[in-house]
Structure 1
Amino acid sequence: MKMNLILNTDSYKLSHFLQYPRNTQYIFSYIESRGGLFDDVLFFGLQKALMDLNEHFPTLDDLEEARAIAAAHGEPFNEAGWKALIALGYFPLAIKAVPEGSILPTRTILLGIVNTLPEFFWLPGHLEPLLLRGIWYPTTVSTLSYHIKQTIGRFMQATCDTQDGLPFKLHDFGARGASSEESAGIGGMAHLVNFMGTDTLSALRYARRYYAADMAGYSIPASEHSTITAWGRANEAGAYRHLLRQFPTGLVACVSDSYDIYNAVDSIWGDELRMDISERDGTVVIRPDSGDPVKVIPVLLKRLGKRFGYRLNSKGYKVLNNKVRIIQGDGVNLDSIERILRKLMAKRWSTDNIAFGMGGALLQGVDRDTQRFAMKASAVCVDGEWRAVYKDPITDSGKKSKRGVLDLINGHTVQVSIEQFLNQPSDLRLVYKDGEILIRDDFDSIRARAAASYPL
């Protein structure tokens, strides 16, 4: 269904053009994270939102559809305003924002927006759902992914000789758990700002389409339960042997708990197929898919170590023979990763031995309140006079909004004049002006910007 940008908003927005003070000319708004699960955010997703904005510039057909729906829906309709915008042929807006990939403390202004022609004072507010949704979701996913990267990185720093494998330690398994193909594409793309592993093909298409990424992520051949159970329980070893023959080199992952994970490790992988694995040119990644991973994984590592051997690295932690590894893809989230790695560290197993696959908790386990995102008007110009506006609910001080025309200078949110906002250099870049996207980042530059803030 074609997007009708006039209707890509909240119902009550249709009435707002009638509610502002008479002779309102300009409205300045900003976006921020007001706090939440994390004390900082990794900003991502604006470029896609701006490209979508331009690609869905409204038409007269859109106007007719919107007018009919508004009338039946019980809302007034700004027909004259939309006709004037369509005749103008572009969105009269100025948007400044921090560079994508930047990591900033919460309550820092991330974006400022103002209309550039006075008759379209109502436009920034009308676009709030599109812009806020285009930012809060990918930014929250990329922030979650970033903090998981920090967690894994700390354990690698403590238990591994190098952190070379870190970009592949968290694999996106979330496509089937996302609310839509679009969510999978956007969220999966946001995860890839921090990591290189994904099974969400939509994320690759989105990163290519919106950020010029030729190939943003990678995967390996892997089994699922149906490709194992189709052989029957009595021929479980035959299923595994077939997998090895189909993929004789490189990495291959095999779910191994369709029946008895311990028997699979001890009797099949570790005995019947041990020589096949040892002589194979590559690594078999065994995937347990049930049970409490904090309890199961140390047992599996001990059994794999007994059958395939291990070495001690320079920090005194055990590293399995390179022919075998484990990936945990069930029950994985920020908390469980920490608990699993802490347990392995206590058992003197290096983080080198394990990678993680994260599904619904990565792409679907967040909402706007995870980081308390909001877009608020903070200044209006009425009859040529700018004045600061704000909200300050007595019942919730956390919702107090900022006031004035705002900019970000040396990491600090400050009040400025509208002329300064539009013209002075600052931490915010002028990314959009009167229908033109002025700055386009490629995916590699965003990744590099985020990596530069990585603390380890």
Structure 2
Amino acid sequence: MTLLHDTNLILDTDSYKASHFLQYPPHTERLFSYLESRGGKYPATRFFGLQYILNRYLTHRVTLEEVEEARAVIEAHGEPFPTEGWRRVVEHHGGRLPLEIRAVPEGTLVPTHNVLMTVTNTDPELPWLVGWFETMLMRVWYPTTVATQSYFLKQIIREALEQTSDRAAEELPFKLHDFGSRGVSSRESAGLGGLAHLTNFMGSDTLEALRVARNHYGAEMAGYSIPAAEHSTVTSWGKPHEVDAYRNLVRTFGKPGAVFAVVSDSYDLKHAINVHWGETLRREVEESGATLVVRPDSGDPAAMVRMSIRALDAKFGSDVNSKGYRVLRHVRVIQGDGIDEDSIREILANVIGDGYSAENVSFGMGGALLQQVNRDTQKFAYKASAALIGGQYQPIYKDPVTDPGKRSKDGVLDLVKEGPRFVTRQYQDFDTAYPDSVLRTVYRDGELLVRDTLEDVRGRA
């Protein structure tokens, strides 16, 4: 059995796409498709991740060997294959895909129901390529949805900090930490989803996000972490020596200005806070000059955070800031179990309701951040909307009577700003340049034309 090449992008499509070159009307010269969020959980999307997809995959040069490999697989699979078309890509275009892709600048927050990306062909003999790559290009839904969710969570935390903290701007970038790498389906999901989160925050334990950021978005260091204990490092000392495990952490990482986190519920969280941290090790923590971050990791999240903050206050004390809220001395709390939007809201409401600043608590988010999203979270769709057939413009749309919400747009679409509002415009001309367009041509004929840095992306919300 001959193994298939991982780099053969012809095979990165849905099986039925291979038959579509035979289904379009005769003399079809151009097709135009667009991507949008048709609504969903959030009122807007923070577009992100297309540059990675284009740079990682669509700058690849197709070879005749890959064409023959794909033909053999797809025909054996039961589908026809556009052999001559793909040979034209190789022989006439040097393996470069004759497509033009326009998109909103990455990091832009765009209200739903607006065009985010458009795709058309630049070779009139190969219009079906626009649909062939729907499968690959549609995957931008994932980093966009992660970036969107992370962005809206940031607004929840921002509001709490601005109400209760004198250091909101300094605290905010590190208040939602990515714990999601082990909970995703692949290394690529970890990297791309983890980086999507880092468009909004600076804290992450997903190392793969740093690789994607450096290789595809020019970021020398995209995010930061701190030394932290896990249950295995604490419990390896044995229950009778739990306090020794904690003492070792203080003496190893407790340097002036440092921050380190210790999971403290391996046996009895209340005992760990009230006795081990609050009595036996209190003076060492205070004299270290470091900040100890206590991590509850079981039980009801809101109740455990509330208990932990109150208990730590009783042992380490707190100060009242200029806004009238208490800030713990020497210690903080991070909740990394059961964190989602609802629990974040509940925890912050409890903390603030008890008279404490939101800066006392941080959040670690895993599966809910990087994995518990899907294409329908923001109802992403990639649809054909216009064609040029025998030189004549043809609108393309669907309008199912069984679901009016799936009515697709028609026309050659563009995105503009009218004052502060984003507006999708519909035209009937494939080649007119619109000077007020928000969309940029980011890819044409196998070349990535725009390379944003992570800092560019971060600055656009």
Q: Give TM-score scaled by structure 2 length.
A: 0.95
Q: CA deviation at 1:178?
A: 0.6
Q: Does 1:434 align with 2:445?
A: yes
Gaps of 5+ in 2: none
- The residue number in structure 1 matching 2:369 is 362
SS at structure 1 position matched to 2:459: helix
- The residue number in structure 1 matching 2:17 is 13
Q: In structure 2, how many angstroms separate the alpha carbons of the residues matched to 1:409 and 1:242?
A: 58
Q: CA deviation at 1:431?
A: 1.3
SS at structure 1 position matched to 2:402: coil
SS at structure 2 position matched to 1:370: coil
Once the two structures are superposed, what CA deviation does each residue of 1:147-185 show, in whole Å capped at 9, x if it has no partner? Answer: 000000111111112312100000000000010011000
Q: CA deviation at 1:59?
A: 1.6
Q: In structure 2, how many angstroms separate the alpha carbons of the residues matched to 1:209 and 1:356?
A: 28
Q: Does 1:398 align with 2:402?
A: no
Q: CA deviation at 1:317?
A: 1.1
Q: In structure 2, how many angstroms separate the alpha carbons of the residues matched to 1:157 and 1:425?
A: 36
Equivalent of 2:179 in 139, 157, 173: 173
Q: CA deviation at 1:334?
A: 1.0
Root mean square deviation of aligned Cα: 1.1
Q: Does 1:184 align with 2:194?
A: no
Q: Contact conserved, 1:405 with 1:421, CA < 8 A, in 2?
A: no
Superposition map of 1:65-214 within 5 A: 65-87=69-91, 88-89=93-94, 90-133=96-139, 135-163=140-168, 164-214=170-220
Q: CA deviation at 1:67?
A: 1.2
Q: Contact conserved, 2:59 with 2:446, CA < 8 A, in 1?
A: no
Q: In structure 2, how many angstroms separate the alpha carbons of the residues matched to 1:146 and 1:260?
A: 35
Q: Contact conserved, 1:5 with 1:57, CA < 8 A, in 2?
A: no
Q: CA deviation at 1:69?
A: 1.1
SS at structure 2 position matched to 1:51: helix
SS at structure 2 position matched to 1:440: coil
- The residue number in structure 2 matching 1:3 is 7
Q: Contact conserved, 1:407 with 1:426, CA < 8 A, in 2?
A: yes
SS at structure 2 position matched to 1:28: strand
Q: CA deviation at 1:425?
A: 4.3
SS at structure 2 position matched to 1:35: coil
Q: In structure 1, how many angstroms separate the alpha carbons of the residues matched to 2:177 and 2:282?
A: 27
Q: Does 1:255 align with 2:263?
A: yes
Q: Contact conserved, 1:95 with 1:111, CA < 8 A, in 2?
A: yes
Q: Give TM-score scaled by structure 1 length.
A: 0.96
- The residue number in structure 1 matching 2:360 is 353
Q: CA deviation at 1:419?
A: 4.7
Q: Contact conserved, 1:220 with 1:252, CA < 8 A, in 2?
A: yes
Higher mean displacement: 90-99 or 226-235? 90-99
Gaps of 5+ in 1: 451-456
With over 3 angstroms needed to count, the CA separation of the structure-2 counterparts of 1:98 and 1:31, relative to structure 1, is same
- The residue number in structure 2 matching 1:387 is 394
Q: In structure 2, how many angstroms separate the alpha carbons of the residues matched to 1:299 and 1:5?
A: 53
Q: CA deviation at 1:211?
A: 0.3
- The residue number in structure 1 matching 2:50 is 46
What letter is aligned with 1:187? G
What letter is aligned with 1:367? N
Q: Contact conserved, 2:254 with 2:285, CA < 8 A, in 1?
A: no
Q: In structure 2, how many angstroms separate the alpha carbons of the residues matched to 1:418 and 1:356?
A: 49
Once the two structures are superposed, what CA deviation does each residue of 1:77-126 show, in whole Å capped at 9, x if it has no partner? Answer: 11111111011121111111110010010011001111011011010100
- The residue number in structure 2 matching 1:62 is 66
Q: In structure 1, how many angstroms separate the alpha carbons of the residues matched to 2:50 and 2:206?
A: 21
Q: Contact conserved, 1:389 with 1:403, CA < 8 A, in 2?
A: yes
Equivalent of 1:221 in 218, 222, 227: 227
Q: Contact conserved, 2:35 with 2:381, CA < 8 A, in 1?
A: yes
